[in-house]
Structure formats: C-alpha cells, structure tokens
Amino acid sequence: MKNSLTAFLVFSLLISCGEKKTVDSNMKEDKVEKVKLMTLDPGHFHAALVHKKMYPQVDSTIYVFAPEGPEVHDFLKKIETYNTRESEATDWKVLENVSDDYLNKMVSEKPGNVMIVAGKNSKKIDYILAAVNAGLNVYADKPLVINSDGFEKLKKAFKLAKEKDVLIYDIMTERFESTTMMQKLFSTMPSVFGELIEGTPEDPAIVKESVHHFFKYVSGQALVRPPWFFDINEEGEGIVDVTTHLVDLVQWEAYPNQIIDTSDIEMVNARRWPTVLTDEEFEGVTGLSEFPDYLDKDLVDGKLNVYSNGEMTYKIKDKYAKVSVIWNYQAPEGTGDTHFSIMRGTKSDLIIKQGHGENYKPVLYVRPKNKEGFDEVINEAIAGAVQMQFEGTTTELMKDGTWRINIPDEFKIGHEAHFGQVTSNYLKYLEEGKLPEWEVPNMVAKYYTTIEAYKLAREK
C-alpha cells in the first residue's frame, strides 16, 4: 500500500499510545496524508450510507465526480442531512465535480486515493477497471458484475490490482448482522452443531432466502429510486444482484477463512421470474407518471415486468446450497425486508426467522437433533464463546424443543449502520496494505456462482 498510508498509521499509533509526537522536521503534521474518499456517479443510496459516520483515518473533505442528474443531488442531500442532524452530526466537506466527463476527471485529477462506487451496475466494472488502472483503491457496492462479459473484466481487474498494489473490495454488510454472526458462531461449535451435512438438491445443507421491497424508507425518508433501477440491462436481474450477499454468506459461514475456487462450485438448478408493477406503483417509487421508452421491452399489457426474482441451487465443496431473492412492491404495515436462513448440522439446525412470530425482526433458533441433554450443551456454549462476543445473550426453550437465542438489542444496530462497520474493516485492510488471503479468490468464486446461475436461468 502507499507509503502515505503507512506513515499515517505509524503516526496515529504514536498519538494513541500517549507518546510524544516525534514527527520528522521534513514531515509536518498537517501534511500527513489521510485516506481520501472519492465517490463516482452515486446512483444508489448506499454511496451516501458510507458517509453516515466519520472515521479518524479519513479526511473530512470528500470528492464527488458525477453526471448532472437527480442521483447526485440525492447523494448531496443525504450528506447534508448527516451534517445537520441533531445527534452525532458529521462534518463532511463536499467538493463537487458535476460534468459529462466525470470519469476522466476523477482518474486524471485523483484528489483522493479510494473510489467509492454504488450505482448503475452495468457501468460499475468499467469504473473499477479505470480506477485500478489509475492506481486507485476501490470500495464498491454489490454487485460488481451482472453478466458474463463483466465477470471476465472482473478477473482482469483483480490481476491489475495486484500489479498496481491497490485493493478492490465489495461492501458485504450482511456479515455484520448479529443473528448471522451468531449463526456462524454456533456452526463452529462441534458440541452444538456437529458438522455441516451434505444435503440434497431438495433439502440443501444451507438455505438463504431474502424478501425485499421497492418502496421503503431510508434515513427516515421515503426512498426515490431512479427509473433505470427497474431496467435489468442497467441494474441487473435479481439473480445477480441481492443474491450476491446470500452467496457470500454461504461461503463465509460454511467455510470461514478458507479459499473457495471456482472449481468448487457446481450449478445444479436456477430460475428467474418477474415482479409486475402498475404505472401507479412505478410512479409511487420513482415520481414518474409514465414508463420511460427504454422500459418498453419489459411492458406486458401495460404493466412492467421486472426480473428481480431469482433462485439457485448449487454445490459448494460437495455441500448443497440454495439461495433465493424475492422483490415485492411494498411491505405490509409494520413489516419490512425479511430474511430466512438455515444451516443443517449433524447435531442441530441453526435457523434464522424474521416473520410474525419474531415481530419481523431476525431471530436465531437452535433445533437439536437429539433433545436429551441438549440444555446443558447450549447453556455451556452461551456461557462461554457466546458471552465473549455477545454479552447478555440468553436462551429460551420453546414448546417444540427448539431453543430461541435472545441477542441484546445493543447488537442489533440495523442495516444502515452496517455500512460504517464494513468501512472501518476496509480502512483496516488499507492500513495493512492487503486483504485476507481468501477474500479475492472468494470474491471471484462468488461472482462466478451468480453469473453461472444467471446463465442457466436464462437458458431455461
């Protein structure tokens, strides 16, 4: 990694340890370079969520390079909201460069050393390649690619990043969701979980399902989605979009800290189907009273067919896994996006539910295969490793013999806050100058999985 980042880390450690500042006379304190963030073409609200908090390693001046349009103005509005809120206000200074030549200006001027990109998925991999070629680190919202051509470019980008000594990292927020972290923790305990079974295509060892909604509230405001969000040529189909998180979790939980190769993946089955939107629903989430011409290809009987839903069943290192994503227009009152997950072990199943019985909040259950004596096993696990990571966690035995794991609310910080956690993690990798050895091959394997599912679903 750049010498400037190393210098900053050493300088920060000296201060944090309370030692006297021993700054070389040729290196003034105000010249110590921090991480400088540049946001390119922020077409998705996730670009703003990275800035919902501030980071000591990051310069308070951020740079935005974007074309003129509502997306960049929405991004700037969100930053202003964070800067002016009453509680935990940020102090970002935004320098805007809004022009048609935004990409060339960013790579030629390079006022920062990290590019953040969250927006049109069709352009994302080209943005990444341009940034890496210019010697910039990349911090990108998923998915990095949405088709086969993009996947080939991604492999090229990782090779180039290694040559340029820069990092490419995608924002995997779901790794920081407390019930998922707890599910992973229990799966590492042989006394509780045993080991992951092989499963079958009909009854996989791991299942991840999520339900999302086009109309929702973000940072307390109704989300306005750009109309191109509903164009699968720009956003990508659901089977290559949200499934990225779920495929990542399968790898991360079932094979922690292990390298996954593309040869470890075998696609078994995949399918896709549309969510149908009326013109009134489309207007409700975009503000447009008519469908744009580029969506004509997806209109059937005057309604928009968005292929936002997808499902895949595949083998990963000889274990069967199933991943599916569903998009509805709007969640019923009092509900929201939901998640279901199960890991099937030889001694118990680890199940995450988020339905009516859980007040639409994710809850982890442990279902033992042999109930006799399991109370002692589960309570020993809770008193040990679980308390070390999630202090205050308790258990509740349900009528069917399943154990409900009650995680304290302090660990349930919500989706938006997870962006700050992932960013802090990425900043640590920048300081170290490298990612964990399994991250890059596993990112390649992850996108190989989604693209293979995409190809198979379209063939059918």
Residues 151 and 273 in one domain: no
CB burial string 179-200: b at 16+ within 10 A, e below: bbbbbbbbbebeebbeebbebe
- The secondary structure of 57-105 as a DSSP string is TB-SEEEEEE-SSHHHHHHHHHHHHHHH-SSS----EEEEEESTTHHHH
Q: Tell me whether residue 457 is in a domain.
A: no
> Which residues constitute the domain of residue 210?
175-417
Virtual CA dihedral for 448, 451, 453, 455, nearest 10 degrees? -130
pLDDT (tens, 9 = 90+) of the chain, 460 residues, equals 444 444 444 334 343 444 333 334 343 334 447 999 999 999 988 999 999 999 999 999 999 999 999 999 999 999 999 999 999 999 999 999 999 999 999 999 999 999 999 999 999 999 999 999 999 999 999 999 999 999 999 999 999 999 999 999 999 999 999 999 999 999 999 999 999 999 999 999 999 999 999 998 776 777 889 899 999 999 999 999 999 999 999 999 999 999 999 999 999 999 999 999 999 999 999 999 999 999 999 999 999 999 999 999 999 999 999 999 999 999 877 777 888 999 999 999 999 999 888 988 899 999 999 999 999 999 999 999 999 999 999 999 999 999 999 999 999 998 889 999 999 999 999 999 999 999 999 999 999 999 999 999 999 8
Q: Tell me whether residue 446 is in a domain.
A: no
**Which distant-in-sequence residues (6+ apart) come within 8 Å of 353 by Cβ?**
340, 362, 363, 365
Residue 274 Cα to chain centre, angstroms: 23
Residues 120 and 150 in one domain: yes
Residues 45 and 189 in one domain: no
Residues 179 and 163 in one domain: no
Residue 196 Cα to chain centre, angstroms: 24
Phi, psi torsion values for 145, nearest 5 degrees: -140, 155
Q: Does the predicted model carry a pTM greater than 0.95? A: no
Helix pair angle (121-133, 102-109), 10° resolution: 20
What is the domain-level CATH number for residue 55? 3.40.50.720
Residues 247 and 306 in one domain: yes
What is the domain-level CATH number for residue 343? 3.30.360.10
* pLDDT attached to residue 68: 96
Q: Tell me whether residue 29 is in a domain.
A: no
408: alpha, beta or left? (left if phi > 0; alpha if psi -120 to 50): beta
Residue at which a domain ends, from 120, 140, 170: 170
Q: Tell me whether residue 218 is in a domain.
A: yes
Residues 47 and 143 in one domain: yes
Structure tokens at 379: 């309570």
Residues 215 and 301 in one domain: yes
Strand, helix or coil for residue 349:
strand
Q: Tell me whether residue 7 is in a domain.
A: no
Residues 376 and 327 in one domain: yes
Contact 343, 206 (CB under 8 A): yes
Q: Tell me whether residue 434 is in a domain.
A: no
| Angstrom distance (rounded) from CA 371 to CA 304 | 50
| Angstrom distance (rounded) from CA 373 to CA 364 | 20
Contact 232, 298 (CB under 8 A): yes
* pLDDT attached to residue 28: 37
Q: Tell me whether residue 455 is in a domain.
A: no
**Which distant-in-sequence residues (6+ apart) come within 8 Å of 423 by Cβ?**
50, 55, 139, 171
Structure tokens at 101: 């030549």
Q: Tell me whether residue 264 is in a domain.
A: yes
Residues 53 and 102 in one domain: yes
Residue at which a domain ends, from 170, 193, 217: 170
By the 10 Å C-beta count (0-12 exposed, 13-18 middle, 19+ buried), 415 is classed as middle
Name the pairing type of β-strands 403-406 and 363-368. antiparallel
Residues 83 and 215 in one domain: no
Phi, psi torsion values for 279, nearest 5 degrees: -65, -30
Residues 267 and 375 in one domain: yes
Number of domains comprising the chain: 2
By the 10 Å C-beta count (0-12 exposed, 13-18 middle, 19+ buried), 444 is classed as middle
**Which distant-in-sequence residues (6+ apart) come within 8 Å of 386 by Cβ?**
182, 185, 393
Smallest CA-to-CA distance from 172 within 370, 435, 413, 423 is with 423
Residues 282 and 331 in one domain: yes
